[in-house]
Structure 1
């Protein structure tokens, strides 16, 4: 692992080569990064050849996991793709330089705006509704602005993978693992005595199919997280390690569910979710007229919500997406104790990490139950009952 100064030295060399003028970076400040990544902010010296006054350096260390290598390549291709977009629809920072072998990327600085995680801590209901409305509009602009550009993105992915053939067969692996995690989650719930209704299984199959197909597809980081959304002059989405073109209903479901894998002090309410979806529809209505069909949109989001909730069970239980996807086969026997996280609340004690995981699952399934009950189709009530049963199973006292 290189030191912070060594990372800065590499970045200076890359910027000097890229912009044809010696670059000097100073006032180094560590930032929080995703996973094991080292993220630094640095000030750049005034230069007629370089317009950015500060930059962000991201170093992704080797982990021995081939999927992490693919994530680096995909992130570079994603930034190359977004660089070519007009500024009004560009969803995040600008890629200024990169080096795959030295595992570093240099980005423009998104500034000192609030993270969405910080904004969600607010208690004022009117402010929160406006925050969610703004997020819906920002997501909608990204989706509508990239909906017809899938071929350009895949061209960039193919180009970079040709230089790294060992990773070529893995670049769609995450989508496949997520689909398998949905199956593993349902199996884990059943193992814990929470049977899967047939309608839930139908929705889960729809979710699996839409991970790699579906008609309403656009560019997205996919695993949206409030601490990777910066709100300053405009909203910017960070971390493109698994960016791709996906069915946009997964982004909507991710927000409505309260961001699975993320605990919030104040989960997203029904009014906030409604404002979020309304603002999103206003941006994408011309691109996808079917988005204005409330019943159709509700069904698509519901399928994605079932997918997120089920996959979350597997990821919380197994720890990683790769491990979660290993037990998807219907004939695969789950290991002993796999449902320990889902044991009834009176079968304690629970470790702190178990309590946190259960709280996250509670928020996800409770949001799924509330969203389902807004359906105009009476048969969807069986999904709401199932989600409520799961939520009640993992409901435990909050950690104070």
Structure 2
């Protein structure tokens, strides 16, 4: 802790003290600290291990590229490694509002969230070389930034632990998710509800550890599933979901006008849902073979992992009528887990769940 404070003080040229631990992760320590001029800053220090260093480089570069969308980047110490950021203060997150009791507030927050990411994506189209240069500035020399292998890993990791046999033709069908329509957009990476602070109708984004360019549909499908990789998952009213998806699409299409083509959008969203559903299946099934678990260790209300998995499989079925092997896999997974006997996914509390 003392070394973190000394490094931050040297960077800013003023005393940094009175650290309050904001939680961080296995990769980092995040502190709210007082400064010598009476203000406060956020100090984020990363561990000296490959994944943490990769996250440090991505976040330093991502905050710089997406300036204004997240906290202002005040200083970087690549050798430590450490970031000093603007303290945005306290504000409710999108997760807080969705788990609250106001449908109007939740709808407004969702639309603000979708608009914020759509605008950021549109405004940063074509700046891949700039992000690469920012990475180089803060790269310790041991990161690799090749194309994200995630969709391939999602397919390769499909579990057999439930005794479900893959239908004939599945491999050929799921290969299509490796060809997600390109339309690259910049994203902070983890766009889940708890990484978004709400200030009236403005959203400030947190967590740029996964900042990168990838297919627009990896992010866009968060508006439909909803929140593809997150713990804060319940059902959205159909009309609200449609509004949120339209809000994101309208903004991002300002940079990629081709996304206004319904055929392009429909195919990309469908493949995005397949990719994220297979990813959840690969990542989560083995964790709940013997007993169910909550999706978050401390937050409540929250669904269980078994609830989430069955919800994902049920939701994908109507989206893949012309992918018979994928649809059959979903049916087999649902049949194999009927014994789980979990409730259907309720609506978000804000919408009466």
TM tier, shorter chain? Answer: 0.7 to 0.9
**Distance in 1 separating the partners of 2:334 and 2:103:** 24
Q: Residue 70 in 1 paired to residue 54 in 2?
A: yes
Cα distance change of structure 1 residues 275 and 35 upon mapping to structure 2, 3 Å threshold:
farther
Deviation readout 1:336-358 (Å, 9 max, x if unpaired): xxxx5575xxxx5x164699999
Q: SS of the counterpart of 1:307?
A: helix
Deviation readout 1:258-278 (Å, 9 max, x if unpaired): 334433373444333211111
User: RMSD across aligned C-alpha pairs, in angstroms?
Assistant: 3.2
Structure 1 unaligned spans of 5+: 17-22, 48-52, 84-89, 318-339
Q: Residue 207 in 1 paired to residue 177 in 2?
A: yes
TM-score, scaled to structure 1:
0.73
Shift of 1:26: 4.3
Q: Residue 43 in 1 paired to residue 29 in 2?
A: no
**Distance in 1 separating the partners of 2:179 and 2:265:** 16
| Aligned with 1:192 (options 163, 178, 183) | 163
**Distance in 2 separating the partners of 1:288 and 1:275:** 19
| Aligned with 2:11 (options 10, 14, 20) | 14
Aligned to 2:145: 171
| Aligned with 1:81 (options 65, 69, 73) | 65
Cα distance change of structure 1 residues 224 and 236 upon mapping to structure 2, 3 Å threshold:
same
Deviation readout 1:235-273 (Å, 9 max, x if unpaired): 122222221011111112234333344333734443332
**1:1-400 equivalences in 2 (<5 Å):** 3=1, 5-16=2-13, 23-46=14-37, 53-62=39-48, 64=49, 66-83=50-67, 90-161=68-139, 164-165=140-141, 167-168=142-143, 170-172=144-146, 175-176=148-149, 178-186=150-158, 188-189=159-160, 192-196=163-167, 198=169, 201=171, 204-210=174-180, 214-233=181-200, 234-264=202-232, 266-316=234-284, 340-341=286-287, 348=290, 350=291, 352=293, 359-360=304-305, 362-363=307-308, 366-367=311-312, 369-370=314-315, 373=318, 378-379=321-322, 383=326, 386-387=329-330, 389-391=332-334, 393-394=336-337, 395-397=340-342
**Distance in 1 separating the partners of 2:172 and 2:244:** 26
**Contact kept? 1:221, 1:244, Cα under 8 Å:** yes
**Contact kept? 1:121, 1:265, Cα under 8 Å:** no
**Distance in 2 separating the partners of 1:354 and 1:274:** 25
Q: SS of the counterpart of 1:110?
A: coil
Aligned to 1:331: none
**Distance in 2 separating the partners of 1:368 and 1:126:** 29
Higher helix share: 1
Structure 2 unaligned spans of 5+: 344-353
**Distance in 2 separating the partners of 1:258 and 1:364:** 13
TM-score, scaled to structure 2:
0.81
Cα distance change of structure 1 residues 11 and 285 upon mapping to structure 2, 3 Å threshold:
same
Deviation readout 1:348-384 (Å, 9 max, x if unpaired): 5x164699999336425524643663x5x85257755
**Distance in 2 separating the partners of 1:35 and 1:151:** 30
Q: SS of the counterpart of 1:303?
A: helix
Q: SS of the counterpart of 1:379?
A: coil
